[in-house]
Structure formats: structure tokens, C-alpha cells
Amino acid sequence: MDSPTFGFSSYHVLLAGCGLAIIVAYWLPRFFHGREPAASGLLIIGGLAVFGLLPGVPQALNPIDSPKVWELASEFAVIIALFGTGIRIDRIKGKGLWSPTVRMLAIAMPLCIIAVLFLGMFVGLTIAAAVLLAAVLAPTDPVLAADVQVGPPTEGGEHPVRFALTTEAGLNDGLAFPFVYLAIFIVAASGGMSGWIGEWAGFYVVYKILVGCLAGAAAGWLLGKVLFALPRRNPLADAGTGVIALAGVLVTYGLTELIEGYGFIAAFVMGIVLRRKEEEHAYHARLHSFSSALEHSVTAILLVLLGGAIPALMGYLDWRHAVLGVALIFIFRPLSGMLALWGTPMSIRQRGVVAFYGVRGIGSIYYLAYAGGQLELVDEGALWATVTFTILLSTIVHGFSAGSVVWAATHEGEDPEKRTSEG
């Protein structure tokens, strides 16, 4: 019998390195006093530190070469996160409750898209690449923004600041999709806009958004019946596990996409509608707990692997593309958000928090990977480098400050002694 030998398996190195980076990313923040920073930025940095120097690993993780893997993994993370975002919203009725959300979606988001589009063309991107980049960076992330969102089901935390950031993140992932298709049309079209603009507006904007909303509402109502009412004497909610959240959102997303609706919108709306059924039932907490654990697990792995891919992407990044990310985080989003929220009952500080904390993340990865799988993009390397840089910048800037800043904004005007005891 041959003596045992110690092999060097790249797969096992990947597993060990990924696990190590995740542990360190969640462990290090415990050394911070007060409200610890989010781990998302540390996960990317950890992936860069663990895998960035290993020969061949960054190129193996390069999303330019394997967009389908990144598309499917990020798609799964986003749909689970969107359902979890919907299920945690305790209250959906109230005078002016949705006004900040509507303003952020209808005013701030288009303004950000236009600003990134023109700056992208100014720094040398083609019009199609600039439109795609603007669409890809438009949505805020429902996965990475836990520190700025409302609390779990039945626990409250429905402050207007948190409600606005939560509902915006839940809806703008789907609403950014028409602009991704717009970029695809521009790349694929050989003639003028007259040949496809009607199809884009009618089908990809109106039809797919409407179907996503209706399908999500119907699925949430039906799953509520299955969980809480049938059979009446022994409902599944009394003993069922949270895995039903995964099953329900997969069915909803898959069927919605089959009838050409936006599955992202359906997943979020489904969560909101399901939450309205037996609102005080403890099962909602179990659903949320399971979906939250699942989305954070998948997201952690994705962020570590994204960090590992950075050395393969940074060769495409120059100062012009970095300026795009910096401008979006520090100029375009804050200014457009403040403009959109002008006249709302929120204080200046609260408006500033909603305007500034538009976290970029997994949704942007999905959209760019999806587009890369559909078309041959001329500026694909620059697009991936810009998006990766922006996500890293966002997770560091937003993640390291969100806990304390958002907490202060949502406790504005409270008794100082109470704030000190809660903080």
C-alpha cells in the first residue's frame, strides 16, 4: 500500500479560504465599540486578501469569463432577499407612508440613471455601455442594507426612514430591469429607435411590471391560504418550517418569469401580501429567520468570491471609471435623493440619511452578468471593474457608518437618557 500523500486541491483551498474570510469578516467587527459596522465590506476585502495572491484564482473567478455562474448565484440571493424584505414589513397603511418611497423611485432613481449615463458617455463609454452601467447601478441592495431597514416581523421598527429605505430596495431591483433591456435593445438594434421603442415601452416597462405586481399579490394570497387556512384544523403554519419561504418564492419567481413578468417585483410583493395574513402569527418570524439566514449565507460567499476576482478586474479600471463610482455614491445619489424628498415631513437629517444610504451590491452583479450573457459587450471589462469598485466603495462607506448614523436619525428628538440607555 502506498504511503499517504498530501495533495493540493484548488477546490478545497477555495472552501477553506472562503470559510476563513467569512469568519474573520463577522468576527472583527466585534472589537468595535457601540454599533458595529456591517460585514459586507470586510467580506470583499477578505476575499481579496485570501484569494487575490493565489496564482490562477482571480482569473478562475472572473465574471467576464463565466457570467452565467454569477448570474444564477446572484439571482438566487436577490429573490430570497426580496421576499425577506417584504415579509418583514409590519405596516403598509398610513397617511403619507409610501410618499418617500414613491419619490425615491419616481424622481431619485431616474435622476441617478441620467447622471451616470451622461458621465459615462463623457468619460468614454459607448451609449449602450453607459445606459447599461446606469441601469446596473440604479437599484439599491435588499441584501446588504440590513442595518438601514425595518426590523423582523412583529418587532416593529417601522420608522419612516427605515420604511423608505426598505421599500425602495424591495421595488427598485425590478424597476431597474427595463433600463437593462433598453441597453440590450440599443446594442442589438441595427436601425433607429422607431423599430423597437414601442415594444420596449409597452412590453418591458408596462406589461412586465404589471404582471410582476399581480403575480406576486396572487401568489402571496394563495400561499397565505395554504399556510394559515387549509386544512382549518391543522394548518401548516402551526408546525411548518421556514423552508416554505424558499419553496414559495421559487414557485412565484419561476412562474412569473414564465409568463414574462418581472420575478423580482413578484417576490417582494408576495412577501408583503403574505405578511398581511394572520399578521400576529409567530410563523412569520420563522419564515423571516429562515430566509434571512439563507440570503446572508449565499451573499457572504458571493462577496468573498467577488473580492477574489478583483485582481482580474482591476486592470480594466482607470481613474475615469473610478470617478463614476465615487460620483454615484457621494454626489448623484445624495443630491437626487434630497431633491426627491423635498417637502416631506422628514427632518433634514432624516432626508439626508435616506438620500445617502443607497447601498449597491448583489443586484448590480446580477444585472451585469445577465446582460453579459445576452450580448457581446464592447466595454465589458470596464463595466465589471466599475461595478465591482462601486460595490466595494459602497459596502465600506455605507456599511461602516450605517449602524450609528441611521440609529441616530431614527431616534431624533427622543429623550437623551432614553437614547443613551438604548444605545
Domains of the chain plus CATH, in order, are 67-303+314-418 (1.20.1530.20)
How confident is residue 238, by pLDDT bands cut at 50, 70 and 90? confident
Question: Which has the closest alpha carbon to 82: 16, 171, 146, 162?
Answer: 171
Query: Is residue 198 scored above 70 in pLDDT?
Result: yes
Asked if residue 6 has pLDDT above 60, the reply is no
Mean pLDDT of 89-102: 87
C-alpha cell recorded at residue 407: 440609529
pLDDT band of residue 282 (cuts 50, 70, 90) is confident
Cα–Cα dist 170/81, whole Å: 9
pLDDT at 253: 96
Write down the pLDDT at residue 45: 92
**Distance between CA atoms of residues 170 and 163, nearest Å:** 10
Least confident of 150-154, 254-258, 383-387, 400-404: 150-154
Indicate the length of the chain as a whole number.
Answer: 423
What's the pLDDT score for residue 196?
81
Mean pLDDT of the chain: 85
Residue, of 242 and 120, whose pLDDT is higher = 120
Question: Of 260, 268, 248, 160, which is closest to residue 207 (Cα–Cα)?
Answer: 260
The pLDDT of 168-189, averaged and rounded, is 85
Mean pLDDT along residues 274-284: 82
CA distance 269 to 344: 25
Instruction: From 309, 392, 394, select the one nearest 67 (Cα to Cα).
Output: 309
C-alpha cell at 389: 469598485
Residue-level pLDDT at 261: 95
pLDDT per residue as tens digits for the range 54-70: 777 888 888 998 889 99
Q: What is the DSSP string of 96-159?
A: TTTHHHHHIIIIIHHHHHHHHHHHHHHTT--HHHHHHHHHHTSSPPTTT-GGGS--STTS----
Task: Pick the more confident residue, 237 or 36.
Answer: 237
Which pLDDT score is estimated for 15? 85
* Predicted pLDDT of residue 263: 95
Whole-model pTM? 0.89
The predicted structure's pLDDT at residue 324: 94
Written as one string, the DSSP assignment of 333-378 is: HHHHHHHHTTTSSS-HHHHHHHHH-----HHHHHHHHHHHHHS--T
pLDDT of residue 386: 95
Confirm if 249 and 259 have CB atoms less than 8 A apart: no
Contact of 333 with 142, CB cutoff 8 Å: no
Q: What letter represents residue 300's amino acid?
A: A
pLDDT value of residue 306: 93
76, 302 Cβ separation under 8 angstroms: no
Q: What is the pLDDT of residue 3?
A: 56
Least confident of 81-85, 147-151, 319-323: 147-151
Provide the pLDDT confidence category of residue 341 given band limits of 50, 70 and 90.
very high
Average pLDDT value for residue range 379-390: 92
> Cell numbers of 312, please?
482580474
- Residues contacting 80, CB < 8 A, separation 6+: 245, 246, 249, 291, 294, 295, 298
Residue 413: predicted pLDDT: 62
pLDDT digits (tens, 9 = 90+) for 305-337: 999 999 999 889 999 999 999 999 999 999 999
Q: Which residues of 290-319 are buried (b: 16+ CB within 10 A; e: fewer)?
A: bbbebbbebbbbbbbbbbbbbbbbeebbee
Mean pLDDT over 174-185 rounds to 88
Dihedral sign computed on CA atoms, order 395, 401, 404, 410:
negative
